[in-house]
């Protein structure tokens, strides 16, 4: 189910509001769904009602099973109570159930007791359950006794079921409005660990190695450049100071394909590039760096963009087990993450020099993709929402640019698997050679990685290639979190500078969830990675530089950031060329003089010593011998 942390959801809505379609979207990713139909079959002469029922049946996937309860409305509570924890039920709808309940064939009956039994079954339900019901409380009071009995019974049922459900959503004109809880539950990125332990009183406790139910977002570090050491003993002094993490942000948004997120300004970018041709520069201009001006203008919504004054680096740390991590040193990625948290290493140093904040994010470890899915569907949903919240936190803090990087064992192989699944790439062509700590190539490890990706693609050859399926089967926690970051940043109009295979793999996945996300992405340098080259071509991202930096994801982008900022500062400050009516750089008009712009040169040799007028020269050019 796409609503994390909620097992039971009530979907309310008026006639033709889209409530059934929305409810079906909540369970669309479940492997199997038991559809519980409550309405009685249509009469032979009611063609319109028959058509409605047929439309509902046609929308159901072939993997769904259907169960009818119209013969005995009291059986609905039994069906819900007996559902297993691994099942998903969709009940559509309670209006039909109340209609059958009030049918004279089932009277006399205690309707209140039957509704109470249903609420109890929902409250104790172990399965994932979505119920659909018409909202009749906004209509006029019916004029007939039967109509009043129906609205009263359905209103009582809706209230009882809403109280029993974890979440309630009202669908109006196809737009969902969450009524309960008013502040949706925060979503966690679960750690790899065993099930929760049970205490003596029957409550559950979280193991020490598992993620807490409501974790705070990671601390945001603000690295600073240390002073020059006076003695060698000062060389190891860390130069970071953690800042307070901002409060968590919960959106209640269902992350699903086809989301409509904002696009950059389609006019500001071209206007900014056209403006470059009018600036007072002595040379031919910025060359390929005019693209960064167009990108900044479009994402800032102005033809005169300014440098990014607040930058945050998100370093996603997540390992991949199995053959994907062949050739890596055990514990190296964790050491890099600890180093960044301590404000040390290349990434933190460059962040300090750029005045950027740094946030290290832990993602769940992915299982071996050659033999099993990397993540469960629940972990994918949690990771996506966690990344979305990280982007929202940054936007609320006034961040104007996010730099997205990653560190983890097996990230390049996982990114290659995602590219093979989404772009049809051949794994060997997008897997870079493995380089050891000694600077030597490890071709044996490279072949193990290729084999792991090949086996993973063979294992999933009949699996869907939807975005969330790709993340669950092949991507892993780091790519899922990065995808959530891209989507959340797009929703908040914050541009993202990608750096490395994980970022571009997330860009490929986010394209299938919201096509607008790639337009908010900037790629400074491809770093020589074949996966980055291919993904950039598919996403339409042209690297601004070709420096082939390999300082680690995130650090490459920070190394290029001062140049990009300088370009934006220059274009924002330079005036229009005087020949086009521009003034000086200070904004003042150039001082006018009576002297002509071009004058004949003075003759060579000594000048006249007399004050009397010289006779007209015979040479019409005005030159004379000295």
Q: State pLDDT tens for residues 555-577.
A: 888 898 999 999 898 888 888 87
pLDDT > 90 fraction of the chain, expressed in percent and rounded: 35
**For residue 120, pLDDT beyond 60:** yes
Q: What is the pLDDT of residue 86?
A: 85
Q: What is the pLDDT of residue 433?
A: 85
> What is the rounded distance in angstroms from the CA atom of residue 269 to the CA atom of residue 292?
10
Task: Give the mean pLDDT of 487-500.
Answer: 93
Beta bridge partners of 220: 243, 359
**For residue 601, pLDDT beyond 70:** no
pLDDT > 70 fraction of the chain, expressed in percent and rounded: 78
Q: Are 92 and 35 in contact (CB under 8 A)?
A: yes
Calculate the average pLDDT of the chain.
79
Q: What is the pLDDT of residue 64?
A: 87
How does pLDDT run across 264-316, given as a tens digit for each residue? Answer: 998 998 998 888 888 878 877 788 888 899 999 999 999 989 999 899 999 99
Active site residues: 553
Element (H, E) at 403: strand 401-407
Task: Give the mean pLDDT of 579-586.
Answer: 61
> What is the rounded distance in angstroms from the CA atom of residue 595 to the CA atom of residue 601?
14
Beta bridge partners of 359: 220, 314
**For residue 197, pLDDT beyond 70:** no
Q: What is the pLDDT of residue 182?
A: 53
CB atoms within 10 A of CB 461: 8
Q: Are 240 and 209 in contact (CB under 8 A)?
A: no
**614 or 537, which is more confident:** 537
pTM of the entire structure?
Answer: 0.57
Q: Are 280 and 578 in contact (CB under 8 A)?
A: yes
Q: What is the pLDDT of residue 604?
A: 46
Task: Give the mean pLDDT of 67-80.
Answer: 88
Helix axes 530-539, 501-513, angle to 10 degrees: 30
**For residue 367, pLDDT beyond 90:** yes
Which of these ranges, 135-149, 446-460, 607-621, has the smallest mean pLDDT? 607-621
What is the C-alpha R_g of the chain? 33
**618 or 324, which is more confident:** 324
Q: What is the pLDDT of residue 210?
A: 41
How does pLDDT run across 523-535, given as a tens digit for each residue? Answer: 988 877 888 888 8
Q: What is the pLDDT of residue 224?
A: 58
Rounded to 5, what percent of the chain is helix, strand, coil? Answer: 40, 15, 45
Q: Is the dihedral of CA 342, 346, 349, 353 positive or negative?
A: negative
pLDDT band at 169 (very low <50, low <70, confident <90, very high): very high
Phi and psi of 463, rounded to 5°? -85, 155
**126 or 222, which is more confident:** 126
**146 or 604, which is more confident:** 146
How does pLDDT run across 214-271, given as a tens digit for each residue? Answer: 456 777 766 655 554 443 333 333 333 233 233 333 445 678 888 889 999 989 989 9
How many Å is the maximal CA-CA distance in the chain?
A: 134
pLDDT band at 59 (very low <50, low <70, confident <90, very high): confident
Which range in 33-42, 216-225, 484-493 is most confidently predicted, on average pLDDT? 484-493
Q: Is the dihedral of CA 7, 8, 11, 12 positive or negative?
A: negative
Q: What is the pLDDT of residue 365?
A: 92
CB atoms within 10 A of CB 429: 13
Which of these ranges, 9-13, 103-107, 114-118, 331-335, has the smallest mean pLDDT? 103-107
Q: What is the pLDDT of residue 94?
A: 92
> What is the rounded distance in angstroms from the CA atom of residue 12 to the CA atom of residue 14?
7
Q: What is the pLDDT of residue 35?
A: 92
pLDDT band at 107 (very low <50, low <70, confident <90, very high): low
**416 or 616, which is more confident:** 416
């Amino acid at each position: 189910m796409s609503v994390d942390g909620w097992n039971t959801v009530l979907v309310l809505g008026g006639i033709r509001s889209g409530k059934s379609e929305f409810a079906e979207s909540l369970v669309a990713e479940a492997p199997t769904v038991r559809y519980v139909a409550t309405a009685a079959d249509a009469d032979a002469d009611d063609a319109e009602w028959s058509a409605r029922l047929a439309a509902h049946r046609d929308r159901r996937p072939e993997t769904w099973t259907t169960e009818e309860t119209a013969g005995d409305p009291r059986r609905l509570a039994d069906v819900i109570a007996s559902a297993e924890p691994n099942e998903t039920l969709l009940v559509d709808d309670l209006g039909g159930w109340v209609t059958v309940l009030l049918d004279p064939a089932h009277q006399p009956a205690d309707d209140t007791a039957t509704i109470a039994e249903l609420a109890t079954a929902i409250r104790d339900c172990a399965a994932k359950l979505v119920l659909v019901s018409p909202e009749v409380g906004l209509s006029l009071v019916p004029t007939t006794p039967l109509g009043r009995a129906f609205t009263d019974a359905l209103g009582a049922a809706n209230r009882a079921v809403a109280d029993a459900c974890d979440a309630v959503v009202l669908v109006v004109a196809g737009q969902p409005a969450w009524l309960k809880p008013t502040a949706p539950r925060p979503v966690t990125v679960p750690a790899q660990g065993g099930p929760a332990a049970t205490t003596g009183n029957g409550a559950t406790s979280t193991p020490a190695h598992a993620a807490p139910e409501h974790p705070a977002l990671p601390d945001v570090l603000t690295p600073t450049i240390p002073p020059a050491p006076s003695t060698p003993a000062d060389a190891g002094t860390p130069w970071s100071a953690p800042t307070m993490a901002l409060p968590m942000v919960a959106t209640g948004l269902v992350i699903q394909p086809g989301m409509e997120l904002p696009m950059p300004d389609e006019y500001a970018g071209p206007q900014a590039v056209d403006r470059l041709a009018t600036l007072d520069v002595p040379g031919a201009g910025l060359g390929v760096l005019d693209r960064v001006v167009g990108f900044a203008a479009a994402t800032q919504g102005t033809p005169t963009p300014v440098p990014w004054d607040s930058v945050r680096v998100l370093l996603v740390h997540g390992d991949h087990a199995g053959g994907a991590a062949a050739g890596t040193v055990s514990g190296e990625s964790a050491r890099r993450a600890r180093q960044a948290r301590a404000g040390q290493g290349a990434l933190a140093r460059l962040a300090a020099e750029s005045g950027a904040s740094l946030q290290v994010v832990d993602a769940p470890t992915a299982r071996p993709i050659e033999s099993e899915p990397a993540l469960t569907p629940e972990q994918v949903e949690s990771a996506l929402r966690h990344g979305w919240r990280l982007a929202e936190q940054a936007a609320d803090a006034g961040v104007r640019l996010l730099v997205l990087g990653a560190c983890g064992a097996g990230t390049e192989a996982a990114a290659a698997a995602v590219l093979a699944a989404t772009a049809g790439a051949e794994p060997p062509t997008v897997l870079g050679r493995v380089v050891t700590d000694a600077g030597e190539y490890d071709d044996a490890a490279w072949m193990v990685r290729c084999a792991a990706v090949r086996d993973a693609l063979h294992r999933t050859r009949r699996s869907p290639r939807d975005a969330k399926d790709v993340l669950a089967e092949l991507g892993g926690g780091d790519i899922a979190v990065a995808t959530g970051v891209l989507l959340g940043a797009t929703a908040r109009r914050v541009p993202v500078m990608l750096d490395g295979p994980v970022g571009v793999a997330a860009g490929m996945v986010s394209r299938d969830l919201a096509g607008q996300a790639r337009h908010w992405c900037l790629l400074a340098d491809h770093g020589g990675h074949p996966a980055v080259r291919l993904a950039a071509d598919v996403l339409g991202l042209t690297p601004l530089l070709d420096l082939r930096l390999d300082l680690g994801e995130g650090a490459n982008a920070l190394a290029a950031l001062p140049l990009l900022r300088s370009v934006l500062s220059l274009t924002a400050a330079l005036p229009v060329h005087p020949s086009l009516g521009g003034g000086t750089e200070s904004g003042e008009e150039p001082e006018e003089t009576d002297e002509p712009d071009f004058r004949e040169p003075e003759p060579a040799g000594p000048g006249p010593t007399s004050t009397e007028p010289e006779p007209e020269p015979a040479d019409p050019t005005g030159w004379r011998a000295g």
